[in-house]
């Protein structure tokens, strides 16, 4: 049993650093595509007081690094039905089909809006240029600046937000949601600029904190992706779903740092092939779509080839492509590789899978509503069930656009309501049990290694059990957490890691991105179901220091959350 307190800080801490209290109509946590888009949509509701908080500089997020593009039905050969079918097939029997249909049918409209804000996708006389990625039956990915789609989107949205009447609070770490009776009234934030706590009280709060890639030793994710949103939502009592499904991107450059350079799937879409270190094009042995098979299949194939040959990489070979085409089509990848000493027009690159995306997250309905009133989640931190057990490539930037738009519609009723005034300090524990001194840096790297080795591409009971024990041990060793962003992050990472392990242990089958070597077969009879975590709270405002809880995961038969609008 782990000690997971309801809040990471005490009222005493806050008083000692003179808590700043501010009131808003809406607070948005995160400044990636989900946070910025949600904010712009909120602005269209009228003259609202809005704050966005972002852990580092606003642009430092996964959105900024997105390369491949956005899947949308624009080609005359394409259709909503085909995009729907590819998404559901990749999702390995677990997609919430209602959410998939919403995504594919509403994406084109949101793309039009994105363009009208100034985002420029590459086009020619016939319209948008289209790329192809794994498990898409047709070319349907629109892209910008060659391989810098995310950067284009982030910069345009950010400049719009900076030009609007919004408090953009950078270098501000959201620590915990302020909730009582399953209703959210804002968030407690630490400002790195002045070393002060801020209680941002709000009619509605949006969690747009992105993914969890940094829980793993090797990831394509930005350093902000430590699962903070999932952890704070869980501590507040919100439901988390499908979190055992973590996608590993097959082709990240092998290098000595945890945030690895992604080599987009569009590289393989344009003809790049994979060779093992013996020079064999092995993907043909694993799947008829070869290099363009679904991501989980390509990642596992690479994992097995590396294990069989005792190597830490395979090779991505683009030499058959025209050099000028490569430089024009993938300018960012080309330059980044050159900086690292590789000329990809002349030599194959050493690549291996890396943690990339979490299909699960804070459970929401089709309007971004979580299980806590006034609390919404959008983007990678949320889970509509759309991606099932495995996300189809380029279906995530559009997810933020489509469901962000819907969430703002649903949130407007609470904004009109206003919110009661209350003292945020009354919610926080007055003191906490002081635990052992712990080395958070050591814990962080230990967690990343364990997650990579035992909760990664291939899993089995023994490794999962051992990881669970170690994470329990670390969580139990921590008492009152020091006032330090890095320590809060590690607490969040340990908590989310612990929950992922529990779901991965419970799901005794293999499906999509979750592969159990001890249960290698997909088991629809028992496991066409989702796993949902919900922390048991014993009522309003838990003030028990170092509260002991048991991890509580339930199997939910029905896959869909009904849309109530």
Ligand X SMILES: Cc1cc2nc3c(=O)[nH]c(=O)nc-3n(C[C@H](O)[C@H](O)[C@H](O)COP(=O)(O)OP(=O)(O)OC[C@H]3O[C@@H](n4cnc5c(N)ncnc54)[C@H](O)[C@@H]3O)c2cc1C
User: Among all residues, which ones are annotated catalytic?
Assistant: 295
Rg (CA), the chain: 22
Classify strands 167-169 and 50-53 as parallel, antiparallel or unpaired: parallel
Q: Where do the H-state alpha helices sit in 456-538? A: 461-477, 485-506, 524-527
Phi-psi region of 521 (alpha: psi -120 to 50; beta: other; left: phi over 0): beta
Q: Which one of residues 251, 394, 412, 470 is an interface residue with ligand X (CB under 6 A)?
A: 394
What DSSP line would sit under 355-387, residue for residue? EEEES-EEE--TT-B-SSBTEEE-GGGEE-STT
Q: Report the alpha-carbon distance of residue 254 to residue 235 in Å, rounded.
A: 36
Binding pattern for the stretch 205-224 against ligand X, x by CB under 6 A and - elsewhere = ---xxx---------xx--x
Minimum Å distance from CB 300 to ligand X? 20
* Beta carbon nearer to ligand X, 319 or 328: 328
* Beta carbon nearer to ligand X, 88 or 505: 88
233-to-42, 238, 246, 314, 408 alpha-carbon distances in Å = 22, 5, 19, 39, 19
* Beta carbon nearer to ligand X, 203 or 396: 396
Residue 63 found at the interface with ligand X (CB under 6 A): yes
Q: Which one of residues 40, 42, 61, 513 is an interface residue with ligand X (CB under 6 A)?
A: 61
Q: Is 56 helix (H, G, I), strand (E, B) or coil?
A: coil
Minimum Å distance from CB 220 to ligand X? 4
Could you tell me how many residues of this chain bind ligand X (CB under 6 A)? 43
Backbone angles phi, psi at 168, to 5 degrees: -95, 110
Burial 90-122 (b: 16+ CB within 10 A, else e): bbbebbbbbbbbbbbebbeebbeebeeeebebb
Asked if 211 and 223 touch (Cβ cutoff 8 Å), the reply is no
Residue 359 found at the interface with ligand X (CB under 6 A): no
Asked if 42 and 20 touch (Cβ cutoff 8 Å), the reply is no
Q: Which one of residues 39, 205, 396, 470 is an interface residue with ligand X (CB under 6 A)?
A: 396
Residue 56 found at the interface with ligand X (CB under 6 A): yes
Q: Which residue is nearest to ligand X (CB)?
A: 32
Burial 471-497 (b: 16+ CB within 10 A, else e): bbebbbebbbbebebebbbbbbbbbbb
DSSP class of 9: S
Minimum Å distance from CB 190 to ligand X? 9
450-to-1, 156, 301, 475 alpha-carbon distances in Å = 19, 38, 21, 15
Residue 366 found at the interface with ligand X (CB under 6 A): no
Minimum Å distance from CB 522 to ligand X? 25
Classify strands 375-377 and 530-533 as parallel, antiparallel or unpaired: unpaired
Residue 272 found at the interface with ligand X (CB under 6 A): no
* Beta carbon nearer to ligand X, 295 or 516: 295
Q: Report the alpha-carbon distance of residue 278 to residue 268 in Å, rounded.
A: 20
Q: Which one of residues 78, 98, 228, 502 is an interface residue with ligand X (CB under 6 A)?
A: 228
Q: Report the alpha-carbon distance of residue 85 to residue 216 in Å, rounded.
A: 31
Q: Which one of residues 19, 25, 42, 62 is an interface residue with ligand X (CB under 6 A)?
A: 62
Residue 146 found at the interface with ligand X (CB under 6 A): no
* Beta carbon nearer to ligand X, 96 or 220: 220
Backbone angles phi, psi at 475, to 5 degrees: -60, -35
Residue 68 found at the interface with ligand X (CB under 6 A): yes
* Beta carbon nearer to ligand X, 199 or 464: 199
Tokens standing for residue 351: 């690549």
Q: Which one of residues 24, 84, 121, 173 is an interface residue with ligand X (CB under 6 A)?
A: 173
The residue among 436, 377, 387, 382 whose CA lies nearest residue 410 is 377
Minimum Å distance from CB 466 to ligand X? 28
Minimum Å distance from CB 69 to ligand X? 5
Q: Which one of residues 282, 286, 303, 357 is an interface residue with ligand X (CB under 6 A)?
A: 357
How far from the centroid of its chain's Cα atoms is residue 308's Cα? Answer: 31
* Beta carbon nearer to ligand X, 377 or 432: 377
* Beta carbon nearer to ligand X, 158 or 553: 158
Name which of residues 397 to 416 contact ligand X (CB under 6 A).
Answer: 397, 400
Name which of residues 26 to 55 contact ligand X (CB under 6 A).
Answer: 29-35, 53-55
Tokens standing for residue 25: 């109509």
Residue 169 found at the interface with ligand X (CB under 6 A): no
Minimum Å distance from CB 63 to ligand X? 3
How far from the centroid of its chain's Cα atoms is residue 411's Cα? Answer: 22
Count of all residues that appear for the chain in the document:
565
Residue 67 found at the interface with ligand X (CB under 6 A): yes
* Beta carbon nearer to ligand X, 38 or 412: 38
Residue 66 found at the interface with ligand X (CB under 6 A): yes
The residue among 182, 178, 228, 184 whose CA lies nearest residue 199 is 178
Name which of residues 316 to 355 contact ligand X (CB under 6 A).
Answer: none
Query: Which residues of the shown chain bind ligand X in the complex (CB under 6 A)?
Result: 29-35, 53-56, 61-63, 65-70, 149-150, 173-174, 208-210, 220-221, 224-225, 228-229, 262, 357, 379-381, 394-397, 400
């Amino acid at each position: 049993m782990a000690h997971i307190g309801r809040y990471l800080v005490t009222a005493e801490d806050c008083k000692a650093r003179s808590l700043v209290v501010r009131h808003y109509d809406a607070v948005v946590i995160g400044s990636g595509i989900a946070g910025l888009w949600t904010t712009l949509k909120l602005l269209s509701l009228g003259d609202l007081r809005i704050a966005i908080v972002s852990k580092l500089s606003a642009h430092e997020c996964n959105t900024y690094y997105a390369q491949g593009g956005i899947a949308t039905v624009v080609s005359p050969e394409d259709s909503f039905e085909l995009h729907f079918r590819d998404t559901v097939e990749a999702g390995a029997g677990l997609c919430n089909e209602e959410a998939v249909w919403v995504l594919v049918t509403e994406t084109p409209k949101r793309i039009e809006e994105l363009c009208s804000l100034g985002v420029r996708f590459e086009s020619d006389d016939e319209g948008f240029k289209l790329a192809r990625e794994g498990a898409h039956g047709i070319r349907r990915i629109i892209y910008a600046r060659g391989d810098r789609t995310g950067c284009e989107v982030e910069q345009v949205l950010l400049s719009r937000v900076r030009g609007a009447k919004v408090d953009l609070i950078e270098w501000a770490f959201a620590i915990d949601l302020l909730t009582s009776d399953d209703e959210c009234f804002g968030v407690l934030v630490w400002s790195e600029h002045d070393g002060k706590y801020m209680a941002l009280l709000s009619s509605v709060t949006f969690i747009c904190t992105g993914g969890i890639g940094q829980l793993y030793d090797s990831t394509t994710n930005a350093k902000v992706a430590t699962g903070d949103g999932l952890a704070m939502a869980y501590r507040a009592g919100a439901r988390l779903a499908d979190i055992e499904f973590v996608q590993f991107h097959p082709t990240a450059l092998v290098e000595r740092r945890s945030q690895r350079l992604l080599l987009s799937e569009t590289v393989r879409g344009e003809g790049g092939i994979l060779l093992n270190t013996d020079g064999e094009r092995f993907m043909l042995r694993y799947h008829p779509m070869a290099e363009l098979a679904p991501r989980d299949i390509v990642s596992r194939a690479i994992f097995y080839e590396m294990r069989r040959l005792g190597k830490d990489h395979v090779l991505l070979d683009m030499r058959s492509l025209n050099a000028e085409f490569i430089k024009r089509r993938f300018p960012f990848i080309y330059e980044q590789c050159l900086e690292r000493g590789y000329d990809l027009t002349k030599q194959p690159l050493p690549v291996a899978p890396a943690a990339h995306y979490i299909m699960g997250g804070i459970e929401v309905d089709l309007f971004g509503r979580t299980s806590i009133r006034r609390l919404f989640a959008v983007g990678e931190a949320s889970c509509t069930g759309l991606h099932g057990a495995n996300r189809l490539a380029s279906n995530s930037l559009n997810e933020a656009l489509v469901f962000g738009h819907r969430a703002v519609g649903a949130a407007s009723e609470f904004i009109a309501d206003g919110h009661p005034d209350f003292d945020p300090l009354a919610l926080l524990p007055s003191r906490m049990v002081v635990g052992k001194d712990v080395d958070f840096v050591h814990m962080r790297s230990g967690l990343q290694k364990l997650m990579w080795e035992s909760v990664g591409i291939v899993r089995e009971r023994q490794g999962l059990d051992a990881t669970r024990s170690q994470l329990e041990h670390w969580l139990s060793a921590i008492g009152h957490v020091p006032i330090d962003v890095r320590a809060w992050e590690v607490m969040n990472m340990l908590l989310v890691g612990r929950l992922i392990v529990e779901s991965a242990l419970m799901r005794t089958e293999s499906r999509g991105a979750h592969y159990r070597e001890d249960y290698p077969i997909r088991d629809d009879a028992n496991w066409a179901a989702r796993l949902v975590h919900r922390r048991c709270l014993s009522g309003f405002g838990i003030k028990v220091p170092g509260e002991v809880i048991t991890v509580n995961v339930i199997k939910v038969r029905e896959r869909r959350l009904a849309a109530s609008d």
